[in-house]
Amino acid sequence: MDMINCTINGTPVSVPAGTTILEAARTIGIEIPTLCYMKGRNEIGACRICVVEVTGARTLVAACVMPVSEGMEIKTRSDRVLKARKRTLELIMSNHNCECLACDRSENCELQTLARNFGVDFDTYKGEKTEVELDESSPALVRDDSKCILCRRCVAACRSQTGVIGANNRGFDTTIGCAFEMKLADVACVNCGQCIEACPVGALVEKDQIAEIFEAINDPSKVVVVQTAPAVRAAIAEGFGKPIGTMGKGKMVAALRRLGFDKVFDTNFSADLTILEEGTELITRVKNGGKLPLITSCSPGWIKYCETYFPDFLDNLSTCKSPQQMFGATLKSWWAKKNNIDPKNIVSVSIMPCTAKKFEVGREEMSVDGFADVDYALTTRELVKMIKRAGLQWDNLPDEEFDSPLGEGTGAAVIFGTTGGVMEAALRTAVDVLSGQDNAEVDYKEVRGMDGIKEASYTVGSLTLNVAVASGLENAKKVLEAVRNGEKNYHFIEIMCCPGGCINGGGQPIQPNWVRDTVDVRGLRAGVLYQEDLDLPERKSHKNSAVMDIVYKEFFGEPNSHTAHKYLHTHYVDRSSTVK
């Protein structure tokens, strides 16, 4: 490889040809500030915060897009550079709603951090501001363009999902929005929240429902029950300043109890239930010549995408509700009856790594006997805020366990939170059922890892199962098109909407972009789940005694039974006429 020698602030640096100034500076521990840059995803040199001085160059250059050249002398902290960055920040802030005090992103805002670091003056450039409208139409996301700095990071994040947002108009009138200035709720937005994760400021946030939850908790007539998805424990500690990859389960459970939830349960319970239902569905379809490939249905962003962009695959979707909804349906039926509680007094709350779950709970298919399975879906970030609002000190919380019996989950369930996890969990059970043995091998490493598309084949007796795993909608699209064209033949496909799966969901704590560029956030979070999988006594869903010995025996009978269908399965809607 050709190496290029240059100097940065007098320090010699040798990097491969093609390396940008910004990446070269990272090799010697200098983080050049950026606002629009996302490595490999948004390299547009638009915000001009990353400018540096290059000896001999006529103007300052954008470090994020300028490759180093032989003998280049780069200054990243000269007077000229620092003044230019400060002025650019002041110009950005002249058109920014600087209501930082109560902004959702205060203390986690890349613009605020730079403003503080550069000692900017808020009032340098006073004048007119671009006319914008607040978009609160979506059940999941809120877009406040008065805070938007037009960095296009959300646009880049959305482009690899659906591409429903982009820059409209030009110059001072430019805003980020949807086609024909439609609202988010009216276009093909799947509510994945990847735009929120990409936003450096507070222009995109989830629809906050914290007040409703506290109100329910403080109402003595309500039984408020919470479930937490597996991916939440893998990231929640980040919200309290802990390193990425810190397990937060014990403290999270303790916090939920201290917040006043009457029962603290685990979505892992219903993830195991999902495997029993979906695994049975798979085996039935394979044996009886049913519609194949079977495609997983846990991810509500993926479901809305399929309904909108690939309606010809609706019959391929598993009829299983997602674990969140299965949990809620079990709670308001079996659990309510067992505990002699009127389901109308139950407030069913979920903590999810996901913004699309807010859309899912409102779908009319997601209620049984007139009761919504889940009443409120909160993001991991909202739970962090609730804990802070209640004054609970994370570091002082003990480690506690989930309540019984809906708090019991296996290792198969906990890996649902990462790409490949649902597939691996399903394989662990399907292989045992098909072979009639308790197989010792439970690790299906071919479907693990952060690749966007993974494929594998497994032979069980006379049967060969071809499987594929895709995460991120651009990858889902590739897989589905290959199936549609007849290029690929799979029996079973796992699709998760967010790149890397739920651990990287749109409801997770937000890491600044420079961290995302330099640290394997997804891998570290997934590692938390694989570790818990290893640590748990049972690693196969059909070994979950609460599922098998209690809930099936007492209520559902057997997987895919009539009762199971009534409570745990659903149907889908063709949304292909939506503006895409």
Partner 1 sequence: MKKKMSSIPFNGTPEQEAKLDAYIAEHRTEEGCLMPIMQEAQLIYGYLPKEVQIHIAEKLGIPAEEVFGVATFYSMFNLSPKGKYQISVCLGTACYVKGSREVLDKICDILEIQPGECTDDGLFSIEACRCVGACGLAPVMMVNGSDVYGRLKASEVESIINKYKEFEKEEKEYENMG
Active-site residues, by number, are: 278, 281, 298, 318, 357, 360, 365, 502
Nearer Cβ to partner 1 (170/445): 170
CA dist 468 and 488 (Å) reads 10
Tokens of 361: 């709970």
In 3D, which of 160, 84, 111, 156 has the Cα closest to residue 473?
160
The partner residues of 67 in beta bridges, in order of sequence, read 20
The span from the CA of 332 to the CA of 39, in Å, is 46
Shortest distance, position 272 Cβ to partner 1, whole Å: 38
Closest CA to 95 of 34, 153, 150: 150
275 contacts: CB under 8 Å, gap ≥ 6: 412, 413, 422, 425, 426, 428, 429, 541, 542
Residue 337 in the binding site for partner 1 (CB under 8 A): no
Q: Which stretch binds partner 1 (CB under 8 A): 114-122, 157-165, 348-356, 534-542?
A: 157-165
Shortest reach from residue 488's CB to partner 1, in Å: 20
Residue from 76, 88, 162, 308 touching partner 1 (CB under 8 A): that is 162
Measured from the CB atom, is 167 or 390 closer to partner 1? 167
Instruction: With beta carbons less than 8 A apart as the criterion, state whether 348 and 500 touch.
Output: no
**List of E strands, 229-312:** 263-266, 294-295
Report the residue number, 515 or 579, with the smaller CB distance to partner 1: 579
Q: Which residues touch 125 (CB under 8 Å, ≥6 apart)? A: 90, 91, 93, 94
Choose, by CB under 8 A, the member of 35, 165, 205, 468 that binds partner 1.
165
Q: Which is closer to partner 1, CB of 126 or CB of 170? A: 170
Interacting residues with partner 1 between 298 and 327 (CB under 8 A): none
Interatomic CA distance for residues 201 and 194, integer angstroms: 14
- Within 8 A by CB and 6+ apart from 361, the residues are 324, 325, 328, 350, 372, 373, 374, 375, 376, 377
Instruction: Pick one of 83, 388, 553, 580: the residue that binds partner 1 (CB under 8 A).
Output: 580
Residue 152 CB, nearest approach to partner 1 (Å): 11
Residue 128 contacts partner 1 per CB under 8 A: no
Under the binding rule (CB under 8 A), the answer on residue 423 touching partner 1 is: no
Closer residue to partner 1 (CB): 142 or 158: 158
In this structure, what token pair is assigned to residue 559?
């997987």
Least CB distance from residue 314 to partner 1, whole Å?
20
Q: Which of 151, 178, 203, 469 binds partner 1 (CB under 8 A)?
A: 178
- Distance of closest approach, residue 175 Cβ to partner 1, in angstroms: 8
The count of chain residues that interact with partner 1, using the rule CB under 8 A, is 19
- Say if CB 498 and CB 421 are below 8 A apart: no
166 binds partner 1 (CB under 8 A): yes
170 binds partner 1 (CB under 8 A): yes
3-state helix, strand, coil in the chain (%, to 5): 40, 15, 40
167 interacts with partner 1 by CB under 8 A:
yes
Shortest Cβ distance from residue 95 to partner 1 (Å)? 15
Least distance between partner 1 and beta carbon 313 (Å): 17
Cα dist from 484 to 474, 487, 575, whole Å? 15, 8, 19
Stretch that binds partner 1, among 162-170, 281-289, 510-518, 552-560 (CB under 8 A): 162-170
Task: Name which of residues 131 to 150 contact partner 1 (CB under 8 A).
Answer: 131
What are the C-alpha distances in Å from 228 to residues 289, 299, 407, 408, 482? Answer: 36, 15, 9, 12, 35
| Closer CB to partner 1, 169 or 404, in the complex | 169
Instruction: Determine, following the binding rule CB under 8 A, whether residue 181 of this chain makes contact with partner 1.
Output: yes
* Min dist. Cβ of residue 176 to partner 1 (A): 10
Length of the chain (residues): 580
Beta strands in 79-165 (DSSP E): 134-135, 141-144
Rounded Cα–Cα distance for residues 331 and 337 (Å): 9
> Which window, 165-173, 436-444, 456-464, 499-507, contacts partner 1 (CB under 8 A)?
165-173
Contact 448, 469 (CB under 8 A): no
> Applying CB under 8 A, does 497 fall inside the site for partner 1?
no
Residue closer to partner 1, measured from CB, 309 or 490: 309
In the set 11, 169, 218, 393, which binds partner 1 (CB under 8 A)?
A: 169
Stretch that binds partner 1, among 171-179, 192-200, 274-282, 368-376 (CB under 8 A): 171-179
Q: Is 179 in the site for partner 1 (CB under 8 A)?
A: yes
Residue 577: CB minimum distance to partner 1, A: 11
Q: Are 466 and 489 in contact (CB under 8 A)?
A: yes
The site string for partner 1 over 550-579 (x = CB under 8 A, - otherwise) reads -----------------------------x
Enumerate residues 184-243 that contact partner 1 by CB under 8 A. 187
Phi and psi angles of residue 52, each rounded to the nearest 5 degrees, phi first: -135, 165
Best CA proximity match to 370, nearest among 342, 349, 335 = 342
Q: What residues line the site for partner 1 (CB under 8 A)?
A: 131, 159, 162-170, 173, 178-181, 187, 579-580
